[in-house]
A and B are shown apart, each in its own frame.
Chain A
Amino acid sequence: MTPVIQLAAVGKRFGTISALDGVSLEVRAGELVGLLGPNGAGKTTLLRVLEGLLPADSGTVRLCGEDPRRPHARLSLGATPQETALPDTLRVRELLRFVSDHYPHNRREEVIDSFALAGLLKRQVGALSGGQKRRVAVALAFIGAPRVVLLDEPTTGLDVEGRHALWQAIRSAHTDHTAIVITSHYIEEVEVLAQRVVIMDRGRTLMDRPTREIVTGRNSQHVHFTVGRAEEPRVRSLLRAHACTTTRGEAATRFAVSTDDPDSVVRLISESGLAFREISIEKPSLESAFLAAIRQNRAPSAEGMSS
């Protein structure tokens, strides 16, 4: 199956700034890709090129095999307006209809369902809350049954509850037929939603891997638990095959065990009849992988890191 997004060695300069510096990326139908990068990494330029708003200076850009600058190619594209950009005067129903009128097939009813818009249809957009506008804006991206959906920071500015509701809606609107590319300031968002993560900095892709592989390196998970001081030697002999660090308190010791297989560690200590408490398993975060990748990319240069 040919990829629905094909970027090959795409370059884009604005004056002396190289916004995209030979970016290659392929995304297939059904994938949900998270695009991460610090401000100015080139994420937005990448999306603008894919949306056909900007021509690339070099390389090729294909959307389902077509140049996205042709209107016909954009039949397979869905994107989100900024929440503040929605026209205040229209009712939600009229807005959904306006967008769906551009596509031969539309999923208006499913989208109303997925994004819980039924109660908002008669309201004017200007009268909606920020969270409701966000929901409408993201829903518009799915309405034309597109093969490619681009979501640029879909939940920025939402409270935790609103963010989780929108994640749920995006998941339920995602089908095997559709590829989604999502950029976000919330690394957690990408970790939760995306099966694959692309990290960009200074116009280049630094990393492109399944999310699972980024967050599961060798001995990268930690099992933490606490036992009485007296039990410490017994725990050490039990876990002699593992790398452990300990923190000693007055009466208790807290262990941190590095492992690939936290399940087996938990099984080992619980089957030994040890009186442990406060057990927890810590996975490495995408955030630490992200920061490490950016730091490494910028290390040789003398420029300071922007925060």
Chain B
Amino acid sequence: MSSARSQLTMIRAHLRFSLIDTLRSPISLVMTVLFPSIILAAFSLVQPELRTQAGAATQATAQLAVFSALTVGLCAVGFDTARLRESPWFRYVRILPVRPVVTVLGLLVGNLVLALTSQGVLVLTALIFTPARVTPSHLIAGAAAVVISLIPFILMGITIAYAVPQKAAAAITMPTLFICAALGGLWFSPATLPAAVAQISRVIPTRGPRDLVLGAVLGQPIDLWVAVNIVGWVILLVLSATWLIRRDTGMRYR
């Protein structure tokens, strides 16, 4: 009964559920998919070099790809996780004969599809409307780097969702998103940051992923501290998320 086939049927059911649920909410879908491209368009209006210089445009696109991954991890996954904790529907799903990891997997894969679609739209927008250029092999390397950078971001979303109640999670997510985006160099190159801020930038959880993705897209070597930043944050976030999930189990009355 717990054969691999029935496990696959369940995983497929949860994935389908997550995709249908996302696709049938058109406004949030369109916003999530188009948000990074809209920001790219807005930035091009105020930063003329994005309209004229290939290097600047490519870098801005790579940074916004990381920003897009950040919004998916913090907002989409974070919100879904908060729903998993508190919504009566997911309380019912926990009664079904399925391990919780399958439900989580369904939501993660659903969000991954969303994230990659959004990235695809961003890359197309950049290639068509800006001078940004990338070789196919660097594009693939960049996509892989974006998937890696999703790991700490998803863990951040889960940590916030388990740390505080749903309403507070929304209030904490927004400042976290903006601080991580600004200080991590996702909107403006860290080279333009004041010296003191540039130092802080290196310990921000978005800075490692940003340099990783940029390095992959431009085909440049990646510094050791980038790996330290990513691995360090992943370990820290895994520990905190595990502790918070354990704390949460059995706490509820109903």
**Selected contact of B96 from candidates A55, A74, A86, CB within 8 Å:** A74
B20 lies within 8 A of A53 (CB) = no
Taking CB atoms, residues of chain B closer than 8 Å to A8 are none
A81 lies within 8 A of B97 (CB) = no
B97 lies within 8 A of A71 (CB) = yes
User: In chain B, what residue has the closest Cβ to A50?
Assistant: B95
- Chain A nearest CB, measured from B19 CB (Å): 11
The answer to the question of B228 belonging to the interface, with a C-beta cut-off of 8 Å to chain A, is no
B13 lies within 8 A of A85 (CB) = no
Q: How large is the interface on B (under 10, 10 to 19, 20 to 34, 35 or more residues)?
A: 20 to 34
User: In chain A, what residue has the closest Cβ to B90?
Assistant: A85
Taking CB atoms, residues of chain A closer than 8 Å to B254 are 44, 48
A89 lies within 8 A of B97 (CB) = no
A86 lies within 8 A of B89 (CB) = yes
The answer to the question of A101 belonging to the interface, with a C-beta cut-off of 8 Å to chain B, is yes
- Chain B nearest CB, measured from A80 CB (Å): 8
Taking CB atoms, residues of chain A closer than 8 Å to B87 are 85
Bound CA span A80–B16, Å: 21
B96 lies within 8 A of A52 (CB) = no
Bound CA span A86–B90, Å: 9
Number of A residues, CB within 8 Å of B: 34
The answer to the question of A170 belonging to the interface, with a C-beta cut-off of 8 Å to chain B, is no
Taking CB atoms, residues of chain A closer than 8 Å to B25 are 89
Bound CA span A77–B17, Å: 21
The answer to the question of A41 belonging to the interface, with a C-beta cut-off of 8 Å to chain B, is no
The answer to the question of B24 belonging to the interface, with a C-beta cut-off of 8 Å to chain A, is yes
User: In chain A, what residue has the closest Cβ to B14?
Assistant: A98
The interface-forming segment of B2-10, B42-50, B53-61, B156-164 is B2-10
Scan residues 90-132 of chain B and give those whose CB is less than 8 A from a CB of chain A.
91-92, 94-99
The answer to the question of A299 belonging to the interface, with a C-beta cut-off of 8 Å to chain B, is no
User: In chain B, what residue has the closest Cβ to A89?
Assistant: B24
The answer to the question of A84 belonging to the interface, with a C-beta cut-off of 8 Å to chain B, is yes
The answer to the question of A25 belonging to the interface, with a C-beta cut-off of 8 Å to chain B, is no
B253 lies within 8 A of A101 (CB) = no
**Selected contact of A85 from candidates B10, B12, B24, B89, CB within 8 Å:** B89
The answer to the question of B223 belonging to the interface, with a C-beta cut-off of 8 Å to chain A, is no
The answer to the question of B88 belonging to the interface, with a C-beta cut-off of 8 Å to chain A, is yes
Bound CA span A226–B65, Å: 88
The answer to the question of A104 belonging to the interface, with a C-beta cut-off of 8 Å to chain B, is yes
Which B residues are within 8 Å of any A CB, using their own CB? Answer: 1-2, 6, 9-10, 12-13, 16-17, 20-21, 24-25, 87-89, 91-92, 94-99, 250, 252-254
- Having A52-B94, A103-B97, one finds 19 other A-B pairs with CB under 8 Å, namely A14-B253, A53-B95, A54-B250, A71-B98, A73-B97, A77-B97, A79-B95, A80-B92, A85-B88, A85-B92, A86-B89, A89-B21, A89-B24, A90-B17, A94-B16, A97-B13, A98-B13, A101-B12, A102-B98
Which A residues are within 8 Å of any B CB, using their own CB? Answer: 14, 44, 48, 51-55, 71-75, 77, 79-82, 84-87, 89-90, 94, 97-99, 101-104, 124, 144
